[in-house]
Every structure is written in structure tokens, then in C-alpha cells.
Structure 1
Amino acid sequence: MINKKNIVLVLFSVFALTACEDYLDIENTGSQLATEDEVWQSRSAINSIPLRFYDTMEWMAEIRLDSRGGLKRQEQETGKNYGNIEVFSGDCIFLRPRAVHDLIYKGDYVQAQNQIFANPDINWVWYNSWECVFLANQILDRIDGVTTDIMPQREIDQIKGEAYLFRAFAYHELHKRWGTMPYFKFRIFPGSDLNLPRPTNKELIADIVADLDQAIAILPEVSYLNDAENMGRMGKAAAMALKSRALTIAASPNSTLNNQKDTELWEQAAAAAWDVIQLSQTSDKVGLYEGDYNEIFSTLPGTIEGLWPRFDAKKTPNIYQLTWQWQNVYSGATGLSPSQEVIDRFETADGWPINHPNSNYEEQNPYINRDPRFYKDVLYHGAPWIKRAEGDLIDMRTDPTTGEDRSKPPTFGNSTTGYLARKHIPERFNRIQYPNRTEYTNAPYIRMAEMYLNYAEAVNEAYGNPSATAPGASLTAVEALNTIRNRVGHVNVRPEFTADADAFRDVVRNEFRVELCFEYHSWFDILRWRTAKEEIHQNNKHGVFIIEDASQPTGVRYERFEFEQNRIFQDRHYRYPIRQPDLEIFEIPQLTQNPGW
């Protein structure tokens, strides 16, 4: 980890081209290290520089150290941050004590950001992102001086494209949390004038889009999923996908001037999403995966669904070696459990919200006739799941003495809500029946389904009509949603909800929460929509007790119960505060604190 007390000076020392073999393949000649000019004459050294971009994603991927202290870039845990985001949004409950969760519940983000352990989103992202910006500008300062007698043009283009891509990526991630930041496009030296003002939202997204367009123009491949030499590196599709996501964030109410609708930005967001969808119509490397839904998250090198893929190494079941660290269903290593509110977002099989009068939803037989994704994403009482033999069912009945479900020993590893997250778990991944089985897990940073969601939302907002299309596009907003629903066997959006933009907006937002549940989205979606205060402030989440009762249709009675979290969320919480020491260290008077902090 970087020394957080003096980020600028540390970045200068970390990136000095004479100092660190983790950044460059530098050969030691006697007592002298290579000079910067010598490094930029070495093909192997130059090719090693952009690999650091992938290491700066440690806040998300929680990259592990190998026995020699080196970073295993392709063997990444999906990390604690996924867990934090699900807890922040209330989509999951975690009973294991963790200071950052308690502080977020209390609304004390100032103290939360000072927590180091298990706190990548509030703490690590800030430093990793500025490191990414510094490295991108360092590369862009020198890469045009590299000639084809040193390395092939395709490698030059790859490195230059990655620099533009990751600079945009860093500013996008900063934007989601702290708002707009000064866009440094020059190499930073000691004494560089960094006192630039915060740009407007439109100025920032224009810079992000310009960088991504540069990356799209020169990155040589759509995907490197099956490339032995460049496995795990990003190509055009990643830049195009990030452009769609960044524009969607910029067009959303939490980013726009006075939180008002900006039709121009929504139009740009719709066009960017359509570009990716259109690419998928002719590419065999990009598109919606049509196989088993679970395989999107449990194959290596992944499926065509992963526009920006990330993956774990192949491994055996282990308490710390399954995605998100909470889902090793029969080892007591769960901890994070979906709230009842997540469960209730899944429609009935014929497309009605469960609280609609026409839904025929049965409170005492709640898991029948639901959206097919429910059965892929959630483990519930009575769910089929191989434990020791075919035909095993998940048993979540509540112990009358402890109030805990019977599927676990009485520790924080229990299902605290009566549910476990199934998404990302390979079907036969448990260490009781399959102790030596190895499986891959992967969790794309951006996947294709999000592009259809972005398109549907942007078209509806830009043109005020669910049946509209973006200029030049052949897909309506409604058809975009139906595409991702039909792919898993779910029905079309009911016509009752496609008559006007307001009704369809609710459907689109629910689709985000269902299709992308447990995928590092929910928190940022309710922030960008500015619905977090309504959803979170003093609104406790729920679980379900499952009590033996022969009089009920399934032999058990379901009783909802409340978690007393006493959440605090005010308007200032839509932006994270900037740590006061960082404001002072950067010596940028125009980098003002966020409102309310």
C-alpha cells in the first residue's frame, strides 16, 4: 500500500524510473540502475510499465502477494470491496464486526475513510486512482518517442491506448465518489502547478470521453480473453464499455447541475451504449452469453459477456478462496446474506412485481413462480443445492432457541437473513462433497448486460418514451430490457409498465438491481439516482424467520423480522468527503471540500 500521508511525494518516488522493479523490468548493471532514457529504449521494460495499471485496481480486485512479494496480476480475489458495497446499499447484511460498516451506518464518513482494514472503497480508491493518473501521464509523456525499431507499432498502440483508458477509468471512479476532480493531462514533477479548479460535470465527462475515444481508436483488439501473451489486458471493447458507464453516471441526477435532467448527456449515453450493442451484433468476442447464466461468473478466461473481464485463478474450496469471501455455503464462511428487500425485487414468473394485486404472490409459499434469475442468484429455504448427494436441499429453518438458521454453526458465518447469495458460486463448489475440485471464478468489472440496461435507461430519459430508439439504432428501450430478460427465460416487460417514461423508469431501475445484484453496482446506482436517502435513511432492512408449521403449504411459516441498523443518510452523503490531510498535501486551494463536510 502507498504511504497515505504524502501521496504526491510518494508518487514521485514510486514512479521514478530508476527506483522500482515492480513498475519496470530494470536490469542492475553493477551498482548502477538503468536511466530513464535507457528504460525507454528497452522493449521488455516498456511493456512492463502498463502492467501497473492493473495493479492499481487492488481496491476492487484485492490482488494477492506471492511468496516472493510479487503481485500475481491474474490471480485476483474479488475482495472485500464487493462485500462493503453490498452492505452500504443494504442489499446484504453482515454480522461480523467491521468498523467501516458501523461508521457508514452512522453517516460518519470522515472516520470511516480513516479505517484501513477491509475498507477499499472509502480509503484505497482515492490513492490508487491518483497513482493511475500519474502513471498514465508518465507514459503519454514518453510513448510517442518510442520507434518501431524498438518495438512493433501494435505494442506501442496497446500501451498508449491503455494509458488513455486507465486515466479515464481513474477519473470515472473518483467522480462516482468525490465528484469532479482537476483533470491533469501533463506529467507531474516536483514543483508542477497542480492548482487547477474543479471542472464542471460536463467538462469532466468531455475529458473522460476524449481519452476513451483516443483509446478506442488505437487499442488493437476487441478482447484479449484468449490471447496467451496479453491475457487479462484490455482492448477496444473495455474502452467502449467504460464510455457507456461514465456517460451514464455523468447524465444521472447526482452529477448534473442542480440535479436536473440533462437531455444532451442522456443522448450521448444512449449513443455510447448502442455502439457497444452494435459491435456485439457482428463480433464473436463481445455479446450476451447464451449458455447457463452461472457460467458467466465461473469460467476462465470468461465468456463473451465480460467487456472488461476480471478473473480468479483456478482453486479448490477454501474459506478465503471463493468470490467475496462469504459464499462457501457448507464451510461456515458466509457472513454476508441478502436482505429481504433484494428478494422482493424479483418479479413473479409472469412479470408482475410481487406487491401488485395481479401477481398471485403467496407470502407462505414465496419461492415458486419467480423470475428465473432468482433461482440462479439466491439460495433460499428448499433450494436444490448439492451438499453430499444429488437432491439435497438448502435447510434454512430457524432454530427456536438461537433464532439462527440450521444450515450453519452459530457464528457470523450463518445466513443472518434466511438467504445466501448463490451468484458467482460454481454448481459443485463446496469442500464437503468436492474437497479436491477446482473451479474458476470471475466477476467482470463491466459486462454486456449493463450495456442494454444503460441503453434502455438513457433512451427513456433522453427521449421520454420507452418505445423510442437512439438515432441510427434498431432497438427500443423496451426491447433492450426484454433482450436481457429473455436471455434467462424471463417474460417481456408487461405492457402496463411501458406506457410512459415514469412507469418505465421504475422498471429499468429494478432491472439494474436484479440483473446486476451482488455485482458491485447497487450502492453506486442509488447514489447516482439520488434515491439513497429515501431508501436508506432510518429504513431498516429485513430478513425472514422460517419456523416449522404443519398448517402451512410448505410445512414452514415465514415471518419477516427487522434489523435495527438506525441508518443515517443525509444529502451530504451523496459525495464522500476528501480527507483534510489530502487537501493540504495536494496544495490545491481550488480543490474544495465537498458540500456538507
Structure 2
Amino acid sequence: MGLENLELLTDATLEQKKAIEGQLLFFRGWYHFMLMQYFGGLPYIDEVMNASGQLTRPRLSYHECADKAAADFRRAADLLPIDWDKTSISVITNGNNQRRINKVMALAYLGKNYLWAASPLMNYESTGSREYNREYAQKAADTFGELLDLVERGATQYELVSYDKIGEVFYSYGQNGRMPGLTEVIFRGPEWDPWQNTRYGLALQYVPTPYHPDGGGNNLSPCANYVNNYGMANGLPLDDPQSGWDKTHPWKDRDPRFYNDIVFDGCLITDNYQNPLPNIELFTSGASRDINTASRTGYALKKFLHPTCNRYDDGWGYSPQFTIGLSYLRLADVYLMYAEAVAQATGTPSGKVSACQLSALDAVNKIRERAGVEGVNAKFTGNLDSFMSELRRERAVELSYEGHRFNDLRRWMLIDKPEYADKTSVEFTRSGDFDPAHPENNAVSGYHEEVIVTRSYTEKHYWMPLKKSDCNMSAEFKQNPGW
């Protein structure tokens, strides 16, 4: 409605009208994209519908729908400023424009839209091929290359934060409720309340169990086979014979992101030494392994928490103003999507696009270097399949628990495979002397994994079901396969 009536707006400058048009186009593309990635191709609503008319629009293929979204994202990117603070139309809101749609956001979602269209699931829906679509991968690579060229040249307000500040990408603490994200977050998600201090807010869902303030509530226990994605500091996956990982010291010399994100046995989880259990017990039958109130898997998550956010230090209340916020899209994700798009478009990890000097391998290693992890080992760079296995693992680690995994596994057509459908716990006992100051060095015995649940996914779960009432509106609006 806004786009169809934009010319009726007369009390505005040309710059203001372009900015309004760009934002409207972005959101038209974005809302369609967000639905498409779960349901597949849909009717693309690009005109005002007649409320009394028949709703007989057929579903488009994924590629047809993605092309229309791409046109909206591209036009939005061409109309919008990089930084609203540097325009003449946002003087009143200078310094508070982080959530305004801008050119960088539009380019990022244009690239993501193309990469999703290139992915095996979306390509299969549109063409019948279960491989990547190179044409769309090239479009994604070119778009991300255009964006990263701006970033690498310092022409935007975005850059990767240093890893010692990575927590502030997800939360702020004692900063008057400041919105998290720093320079890395591109598109922020919703915020439920300023301090996230109710048990229904995001914050308490990520409290390391069992230190919820009332001993119950939402407990999040990462699955052991997911945590296995966190490889070694030398950059190798755990199962590589040269990685140096062994089952008697499973927490030693791991990827630094493992220590930042994951609570493992023996971790100090409170600064309050009057707490009866400052070092968490996650061994089999340990005090924090109660299946109903604590960890079911032998791990807990701390990625989105300030260290004092536990029931003994009380670091999440109104006074410290702990504010958590998970973004829809941050810059690290863009680098990894660029790597995937370039590798698939060129067929090699060393591939580049003309707009950006980074190769696919360079982009992945940039994220690893930031975290203090060695780059992708040469044994994984000789062919595309080997490189993709490391790229998929890198996305699992860098973007863990940020809401990307389900769609990644679906678009790669992997969600129904046993290694992803099975969810495991880690079982072990402590062995030898226990070092409470350096739990990563502690020895264990009997280390093994057990399957605790299996998700019964099949190919029909590649797409979500549509509401029956929607499918019954007209013969042209088809249900998804298998539902």
C-alpha cells in the first residue's frame, strides 16, 4: 500500500521519498524470504489485493519467488544510505539509527536470498537437481563480494569485533540497558523487555543449569554430538587422527570458542564462593546431571551470558541491567555465506569474485583467526567436498545457538540424516586429581556418548506444512509434499 501510494506523499524531499521506498521494498522482500525459507515458493504479493476478489494466485517455484525478492532487495540497496547518521534526513535520530534499514542490510539479504536459492533443497524444489545451482551461487557471491568490499575498505560502520569483546555482540551488562551488537550486528532481532529480567525473557533460557533463580524453568543443554563440532585449537576436527584429541582429556586444547560458549565438567560457574558447588559437576550422575532440573547431555551453554548470571551472583536483575539480544544477521555470518557462495560458484576454495579480494578460504580463516583458531588445514582445501565439510562445521561453531542450524541443515538436505537426527549425551567419570582452577586439563575415564533422543525427520520435513485453511482457499495454492 505504501509503495502504490508513495507518489501521493508531497510533503517530503526526493531523498526522503527514496529512503521510504527503499525501506518498504526491503521489508517486502524480507517478509517473503523469511516465509519462503520454511515453506518454499509462495505467491509474491507485489500489489494491493482486492479484499472482495478471489484469492487464486498460484504458488511460484522457489526460484521464481527468490527472483522477485531479489529485485526488491536490489532496488532497496540502490536507494538506501549506508549510514543514516551521515544523511541530511535523520538529524533528530543521529546516534540511534542502528535498527534503520540501510544499504548494507539490503545487500546482505540479497546475497542470502541468492545463496538460499542456490542451495540443494531450494534448487531441488525448482529444478529437480539436488546439487547447488551455480548460477544463483554466483549471484550470491557477487552480492556478498560487493558488500564485503565496502566493509574491507572501511566504507561502512560495520566490522568484526575483537574476540575479547564477543560477548557484547550478544549482551550488555551494567551499561544502562545498552543494545548489544557493537559493530558486528547488521540486522537486530526483537527485544522483549529492556532488561530481559522475567523468567519468560530470552536471558534466563541460557542460564547454565541448574543455577536458575528458582531452581526450575528453561534449561538448555547442548547435545554432545553438536558440541563435537568444536574442534581443536589447531583447527582440526576432533575425529581427525592428527588433531591431538583423546578421550582421557576431552576438554584439553580445544577451539577457544568451546571455552567461551560451553559449560563442561568442572567449570567455575559462580564468583560467589559461599555457593556449595562453584565448580559444576557434569560427569555421569554428577550433581548437575539431573534429567529434570539440570543437564541431560553433560553440557550447558554460556555463550549469551555474563559470567555473573547465576542464582548466587544474581547478575541478571534490574540493577546490573543485563540485556540480551540475538540478531537475525551479523557480519561473521556474511563472511561464511560469502565463502560458501564463492566456493560453490567457482568450484574451488581458492575462488574469488572480482569485487572482493578474499577467497572462500580467506573468508573462513578470517573468522577463525579472530577467534584464535588455526585456519582450515591444507588436507581440506584440495577439493570442494572436503572444504564444504569444514565450512559446515565452521557455521555450526561460529553461529551456534543463534537460530541458523535448522535452516542450514534443511537447505543442505541433511536434516533427516542419522548423524543429525540423533541427539547424544556424553558419559564419563572423573579420573585422577581434580584441578578446579584449570578444568580443561582434568582427566576422565569411560568417556563415551549415548543416544538420548532421535528426531524422526523424513524428506517431508524439508518443508514446513501450510495451514489447511490456506490450501483450501483455491486449487492453485498447493500443500507441501507429504503433508
Q: Do Structure 1 and Structure 2 share a fold, with TM-score over 0.5? A: yes
Q: How far has the Cα of 1:484 moved from its partner?
A: 0.6
Partner residue, 2:476: 590
Deviations 1:225-261 (A, max 9, x none): 9845655332222111111211111100000121233
The correspondence for 2:359, drawn from 454, 468, 476, is: 476
Q: Does 1:182 align with 2:67?
A: no
How do residues 241-320 of structure 1 correspond to structure 2 at under 5 angstroms? 241-256=108-123, 257-258=127-128, 259-281=130-152, 282-290=154-162, 291-299=164-172, 300-301=178-179, 302-310=181-189, 312=191, 313-315=193-195, 318-320=198-200
State the distance in 2 between where 1:380 and 1:317 align.
Answer: 26
Measured in 1, the distance between the counterparts of 2:419 and 2:249 equals 28
Select the residue among 402, 407, 425 that pairs with 1:519.
402
Alignment correspondent of 2:372: 489
Count, aligned residues: 450
The Cα offsets for residues 77-121 of structure 1, whole Å up to 9 and x where unpaired, read as: xxxxxxxxxxxxxxxxxxxxxxxxxxxxxxxxxxxxxxxxxxxxx
Map of 1:344 onto structure 2: 228
Q: Confirm or deny that 1:442 pairs with 2:309.
A: no
Note the 1:453-464 alignment, pairs <5 A: 453-464=336-347
Q: Quote the offset at 1:513 in angstroms.
A: 0.9
* Compared CA separation, residues 193 and 591, structure 1 to 2 (3 A): same
- Mapping of residues 182-221 of structure 1, within 5 Å: 182-221=43-82
Q: Which residue of 2 aligns with 1:55?
A: none
TM-score, structure 2 normalization: 0.86
Are 2:403 and 1:530 aligned?
Answer: no
Q: Give the equivalent residue in structure 2 for 1:378.
A: 262
Contact 1:182 1:198 in 2 (8 A): yes
State the partner residue of 1:395.
280
**Distance between the aligned counterparts of 1:390 and 1:201, measured in 2?**
58
Question: Residue 474 of structure 2 aligns to which amino acid in structure 1?
Answer: I
Question: Does the 8 A contact of 1:317 with 1:429 survive in 2?
Answer: no
* Equivalent AA in structure 1 for residue 56 of structure 2: N
Comparing 331-340 and 512-521, the one that deviates more: 331-340
* Structure 1 position 197, deviation (Å): 2.5
What RMSD, in angstroms, separates the aligned Cα atoms of the two structures? 2.7
Q: Deviations over 1:377-401 (max 9, x none)?
A: 11111224334159995412447xx
Aligned identity (percent) is 26
Q: 1:389 to 1:273 in 2, by over 3 A?
A: farther
* Counterpart residue identity of residue 5, structure 2: R
CA distance in 2, matches of 1:446, 1:519: 9
Alignment partner of 1:423 out of 287, 291, 303: 303
Amino acid at match of 2:375: N
Task: Point out where structure 1 has 5 or more consecutive residues left out of the alignment.
Answer: 1-137
- 1:572-591, aligned counterparts within 5 Å? 572-584=460-472, 587-591=473-477
User: What TM-score do you get using the length of structure 1 for normalisation?
Assistant: 0.70
CA distance in 2, matches of 1:363, 1:217: 54
Alignment of 1:62-141 (within 5 A): 138-141=1-4
CA contact (8 A) 2:118 2:132 kept: yes
State the match for 1:118 in structure 2: none
Query: Which residue does the alignment assign to 1:73?
Result: none
1:218 & 1:412 partners in 2: Cα distance? 53
Determine whether 1:168 maps to 2:41: no
1:540 aligned to which of 397, 411, 422: 422
The secondary structure found in structure 2 opposite 1:174 is: helix
CA deviation map 1:292-346 (0-9, x unaligned): 2212111333211111123645427553334372426522344221001111111
Counterpart Cα distance in 1 of 2:208 and 2:228: 24
